[in-house]
Amino acid sequence: MTNDNDILQAVYQIILDRKANPTDSSYTASLMRGGIDKILKKIGEEATEVVIAGKGGVHDEIVYEAADLVFHLLVLLGHQNIPPTVVYDELRRRLGISGLEEKASRYVPHH
């Protein structure tokens, strides 16, 4: 593959295929069948596992758990019909902007 986001796009395409052509043996299709709540629960679990692996500091465990989290985020994007390129565009938009400035730009005060 020529660049890193090619693998994310390839995985996303497989997720869309499992969504459109579900089989009983597909883990991704079972997540899609479970709906948004099942997908979000899984993302929460995977995020927690990343935190635990990060705290443990074992390189391979961090990599493994990070890959699980990214996969499940791609499932969420596929479920919501959001191409990963939209997320890449948002990250590009944020380049060169202080994180604090970017976050402040999203804040809308409630009156």
Do the beta carbons of residue 93 and residue 99 sit within 8 Å? no
Count of domains forming the chain: 1
Q: What is the pTM of this model?
A: 0.84
> pLDDT grade, residue 98 (50/70/90)?
confident
Among left, alpha and beta (phi > 0; psi -120 to 50; other), residue 35 is left
Token pair 């804040």 is at which residue?
A: 107
Is residue 47 predicted with pLDDT exceeding 90?
A: yes
The CATH number given to whatever domain includes residue 95 is 1.10.287.1080
Specify if 101 maps to a domain: yes
Domain holding 35, by residue range, is: 4-106
Average pLDDT over residues 69-94: 95
Which is higher by pLDDT, 108 or 8? Answer: 8
